[in-house]
Amino acid sequence: MTLVQVENLTLRFAGRAKPAVDGVSFEIQAGECLALVGESGAGKSLTARALFGLTGRNTEVSARALRIDGHDVTAFTERQWQALRGATVGMVLQDAMVSLDPLRRIGDEIAEPIHIHARRRGLARGAPAGVAERVIELLRQVGVPDPEARRGSYPHELSGGLRQRALIASALAADPALIVADEPTTALDVIVQEQILRLLGDAKAAGRGLLLISHDLGVVSRLADRVAVMKDGAIVETGPAAALVSAPTHPYTRTLVDALPDRRPADPAARPNGTAGPAADVKTVPRPDGTPVLTVTGVGKTYGTAGRQRRALHNVSLTVRPGETLGIVGESGSGKSTLARIALGLLPPDEGDVLLHGKPWSSIPERLRRSRRATIQLIHQNPTAAFDPRFTVADIVGEGVTERGRTARRARITELLRQVGLDEDFLTRRPHHMSGGQRQRVAIARALAPRPALLICDEPVSALDVSIQAQILDLLADLQHETGVAMLFITHSLSVVRRISHRVAIMKDGHILEEGPTAAVFAAPRHPYARQLLAASLLPVP
């Protein structure tokens, strides 16, 4: 049965000539999953909102046909839409931390669609009978342990995975025939991502239609029956998932497929700019004779006061040598960021020692550290938050430049911009006039300005679109080749770490479970958790 039939859907913001969604057509059958894939701004989410009549006030929506579960919704009134929302179509958004009302208990959020639609159908004015049981049943269905107690929790009290499960439960509550999931796993770690995809797969197996929206072709291709690739508001290619990934026809689809980190050409010569640098298996060999830039020995860290303690790091040891990248992978809460802060000398370890170039680093007072601070530089996940929005690019990069004199400084800033692939036009731009990728390039230029020996990269590409991710990873590898800088690369993405790292360390609950050369770890992980992690990122969803 055809659940959704969209024909020539066009959506325009008032006062704009160019439509944001331009002649999109697709169908979804019951029990089928269609994926909409494309980069941010491609019109995916707007297309999804059109199925809810929630495109906002200042939009004009037109379609030759827009049928949902047998209803022609093109002329629907707001009241008719309200009857449809939740009961026929359910929505799951990205990051339940902000997609669930932070002031309400998850049980109330899950019960909400049940109450709304019971009231609309004119059933009992009070609470319909058995709602509490239904909520518990839903929580159990989405795999939340101890549902009787958990329904009284607030979103911030749950882990990212449990929150997302609760959000899915709230979308399922009024038993809709179609689930629209807009980037449902983007904020999650690989293993949790896998679990959430499975859960959505269960909904599909139960006969619901599924519209899955993502910027990550790798994620959707594991669950989707068909994939539609969107670019600039239009669908450029549609086809069965497997066929589309193995033999993309449209050039844009091809760039998306190529950008899948596992599929990047391993041979540097095959890369577009032809520069040397590490690819899927890394070619640059660290100088074995170099003294380690960073030596971390037996570091432990505990947060909290007596009674409510949480151990963030247990006996962590690692070294980073010049010209080498050590990747640290782990889920959120595994201690990665604490490790980064200790390495930066921003947080004193409770046990153990950190040496920089073989000299004491963590044990000395800040006064003595300050003169050597330029040796370690940090690249954040979100450069927008790390820039003063009033600064120009020249100001931002200039902060780290050590040269004296106007001409020398300017020359150095221009050179740094050139190194990160930006021309002189960018000197006077401000952060909000740049794309995410360009901003991250500026952040890299600023980090390189004082000629550091070590770059600490904390999820530097997680906020970027896949094709931009690949460019930034290439850039980092090229810069390492050029300058010999060492990198401590923190990420939750296995495919990213595989592309960039010479060695990889897998972290969980504050422990380093496994450490070794990237190829060896990926080929034959020894620790059970590492095996589980790798399996989650590679296996297709059944």
Partner 1 sequence: MRPGLGRHILLRLLSGVFVLWGAATLCFLTVSLRGDTVGAILGPGQPPTPELRRQIIAEYGLDDPWLVQYGRRLRELLTGDLGWSYQRDQPVARLLADQIGPTLQLAVAAALLSVLLAVAATLLTAGRGRLVRAAVSGLELLAVSLPNFWVGTVLLALFSFTFPIFPAVGAPGPAGLVLPAFALALPAAGVLAQVMRQELETAETRPFAVSVLARGAGLFHLRARHTLRHAALPVVTLSGWVLGSLAGGAVLIENIFARPGLGRLLASAAASRDLPVVTAIVLLSAAAFVVINLVVDLLYPLIDPRLRAEAAR
- As measured in angstroms, the least distance from the Cβ of 91 to partner 1 is 4
Residues 498-537 binding partner 1 (CB under 8 A) are: none
- As measured in angstroms, the least distance from the Cβ of 100 to partner 1 is 6
Residue 519 CA to its chain's centroid (Å):
24
Residues 64-83 binding partner 1 (CB under 8 A) are: 78, 82-83
Residue of 28, 135, 174, 356 that binds partner 1 (CB under 8 A): 174
Strands 2-13 and 21-29: antiparallel
- As measured in angstroms, the least distance from the Cβ of 106 to partner 1 is 11
Residue of 94, 221, 440, 491 that binds partner 1 (CB under 8 A): 94
Q: Dump the DSSP string for 356-384.
A: ETTEE-SSS-HHHHGGGGGGEEEE-S-HH
Shorter beta-carbon distance to partner 1: residue 8 or 58: 58
3-state secondary structure 262-328: HHCCCCHHHCCCCCCCCCCCCCCCCCCCCCCCEEEEEEEEEECCCCCCEEEEEEEEEEECCCCEEEE
Residue of 42, 87, 220, 312 that binds partner 1 (CB under 8 A): 87
Residues 35-54 binding partner 1 (CB under 8 A) are: 52, 54
Residue of 113, 160, 233, 335 that binds partner 1 (CB under 8 A): 113
Residue of 71, 104, 359, 526 that binds partner 1 (CB under 8 A): 104
Residues 117-146 binding partner 1 (CB under 8 A) are: 117, 120
- As measured in angstroms, the least distance from the Cβ of 57 to partner 1 is 8
Whether the Cβ atoms of residue 193 and residue 536 lie closer than 8 Å to each other: yes
Q: Dump the DSSP string for 108-171.
A: HHHHHHHHHHHHHTT--SSPPTTHHHHHHHHHHHTT-SSHHHHTT--GGGS-HHHHHHHHHHHH
- As measured in angstroms, the least distance from the Cβ of 139 to partner 1 is 17
Whether the Cβ atoms of residue 252 and residue 238 lie closer than 8 Å to each other: no
Measured from the Cβ of residue 411, the count of other Cβ atoms closer than 10 Å reads: 13
Closest C-alpha among 442, 422, 421 to residue 431: 442
Residues 292-321 binding partner 1 (CB under 8 A) are: none
The stretch among 34-42, 153-161, 292-300, 318-326 that binds partner 1 (CB under 8 A) is: 153-161
What's the CA angle centered on 282, arms 277 and 286, to 5 degrees? Answer: 85
Shorter beta-carbon distance to partner 1: residue 169 or 494: 169
Shorter beta-carbon distance to partner 1: residue 66 or 329: 66
Residue of 167, 211, 340, 444 that binds partner 1 (CB under 8 A): 167
102 binds partner 1 (CB under 8 A): yes
Question: Distance between CA atoms of 335 and 511, rounded to whole angstroms?
Answer: 8
Q: Dump the DSSP string for 417-480.
A: HHHTT--GGGGG--GGGS-HHHHHHHHHHHHHTT--SEEEEESTTTTS-HHHHHHHHHHHHHHH
Residue of 20, 100, 396, 530 that binds partner 1 (CB under 8 A): 100
- As measured in angstroms, the least distance from the Cβ of 156 to partner 1 is 5
- As measured in angstroms, the least distance from the Cβ of 401 to partner 1 is 38
Supply 287's token pair.
């100088």
Residue of 10, 55, 59, 170 that binds partner 1 (CB under 8 A): 170
The stretch among 97-105, 253-261, 363-371, 432-440 that binds partner 1 (CB under 8 A) is: 97-105
The stretch among 85-93, 277-285, 323-331, 442-450 that binds partner 1 (CB under 8 A) is: 85-93
Shorter beta-carbon distance to partner 1: residue 179 or 394: 179
Question: Distance between CA atoms of 52 and 16, rounded to whole angstroms?
Answer: 22
CA distances in angstroms from 10 to 46, 217, 529, listed in the order given:
10, 24, 47
What does the binding site for partner 1 look like in residue numbers (CB under 8 A)? Answer: 52, 54, 78, 82-87, 89-91, 93-95, 98-104, 109, 112-113, 116-117, 120, 154, 156-157, 167, 170-171, 173-174
